[in-house]
Amino acid sequence: MSKTIDTMESLLQANPIHLPVEGEDIQGTVLEIGTNAMYINLGPIGTGIVLGEELHDGFGTIKTLKKGDEVTATVVTTNTVDGYIELSLKQASEDKVWDDLFAKQASEEPVEVKIIDANKGGLLISINGINGFLPVSQLAYDHYPRVDGGDKTKILSRLKEYTGDIFRVTIINVDREENKLIVSEKAARKTEELQLVNSYQKGDTVEGEVTGVVDFGVFMKFGKDGHKLEGLVHISELSWQLVENPRDLYKEGDKVKAQVIEIVNGKVSLSIKALSEDPWVKIAEKFHVDQIVEGEVARMNHFGIFVQLDSEVRGLIHNSEIEKDKAKYSNLKEGVATQFKILSIDPQEHRISLCLV
Position 15 scores a pLDDT of: 57
- Given a contact cutoff of 8 angstroms between Cβ atoms, the answer to whether 181 and 130 are in contact is yes
Percent of the chain beyond pLDDT 90?
A: 50
**In terms of Cα–Cα distance, which of 73, 74, 37 is closest to 52?**
37
Residue ranges of domains in the chain, CATH in brackets: 13-93 (2.40.50.140), 108-188 (2.40.50.140), 199-275 (2.40.50.140), 282-356 (2.40.50.140)
Q: Pairing mode, if any, of strands 255-264 and 205-214?
A: antiparallel
C-alpha span between 28 and 41 (Å, rounded): 5
CB contact at 8 A, 50 and 91: no
Residues 6+ apart with CB under 8 A from 15: none
> Which residue ranges in the chain fall short of pLDDT 70?
1-18, 57-62, 93, 191, 225-226
Whole-angstrom CA distances from 181 to 92, 105, 126, 167, 319 are 20, 10, 9, 15, 58
302-331 pLDDT per residue, tens: 889 999 998 889 999 999 999 999 999 998
Q: How many CB atoms lie within 10 A of CB 349?
A: 8
